[in-house]
Amino acid sequence: MNESPRRFERIAFVASQTSEAEAARARLIQRYGAVDVEDADVIVALGGDGLMLQSLHRFRDRSLPIYGMHRGSVGFLMNTFREADLHERLAQASHVVIHPLLMETVDAAGERRTALAINEVSLLRQTYQAAKLRISIDGKVRLEELICDGVLVATPAGSTAYNLSAHGPILPLGTALLALTPISPFRPRRWRGALIPDRATIQITVLEADKRPVSAVADHQEVRDIVEVTARLDQSSSMDMLFDPDHGLDERILREQFIY
């Protein structure tokens, strides 16, 4: 027996700080009503991918699905904006559960910090000096020395963001892989990155950290002057995104690979 579509009657609306997004939010509230996040069945986010990332982080502990509609500059993670039939679209939407990356850093003073990334964890040089990095997977050194502007670890959901700009591979959702992608590699010049099982722990050690300082970023959270970073998928944490059946994230990822 087929399950009936889930109804999302109580909607909380959030919007980016643009006139277009705020106006859309006002019209939708007038049409459908709104509740606070604490009382909601679903969150509708109006903006671009930046707002979606912020919303996923902000409401991570609420266990609420988030349905994005594009009212911003970049909308890869967003559905097409349309005011009509919102309840029906929510009921028919496909669910995509994603797990974030857990970034753990040690800085030059020995301080340890953790942060979550939905798209990617990236290491970036802080000065004109190229970064010099050593890469280990599950405790085994795989690349003794990488001289580059940086390197990033991307999830499937984030593989079409910074990772794609750095010429990394696009990973369909559901793929049990992470993309490890260099940013402007100098040596070894021919190394173009690697696909890593998503159960693995990636450790990146900064060589000559005093001379070649490096920062680490988990989505929008930056830690400077780091000496070591580990990144692994946090299976204990999950986020639920909603996509229209004819415009899901898998379809977008597939379509992106045929754009030239």
Q: Which residue has the tokens 């028919």?
A: 92
Does 50 appear as a known binding residue?
Answer: yes
Does 260 appear as a known binding residue?
Answer: no
Does 79 appear as a known binding residue?
Answer: no
Cα 52 to Cα 103: distance, rounded to the nearest angstrom: 20
Does 161 appear as a known binding residue?
Answer: yes
- Give strand pairing partners of 205: 134, 228
Query: Helix, strand or coil for residue 184?
Result: coil
Does 2 appear as a known binding residue?
Answer: no
Cα 62 to Cα 60: distance, rounded to the nearest angstrom: 6
Does 198 appear as a known binding residue?
Answer: no
Cα 18 to Cα 23: distance, rounded to the nearest angstrom: 8
Does 160 appear as a known binding residue?
Answer: yes
Length of the chain: 260
Does 250 appear as a known binding residue?
Answer: no
Does 47 appear as a known binding residue?
Answer: no
Whether 102 contacts 114, CB under 8 Å: yes
Catalytic residues, by residue number, are 49
Does 55 appear as a known binding residue?
Answer: no
Cα 172 to Cα 230: distance, rounded to the nearest angstrom: 23
Residues 6+ apart with CB under 8 A from 182: 146, 148, 150, 151, 166, 191, 192, 193
Does 237 appear as a known binding residue?
Answer: no
Query: Known binding site for NAD(+): residues?
Result: 49-50, 119-120, 149, 157, 160-165, 221
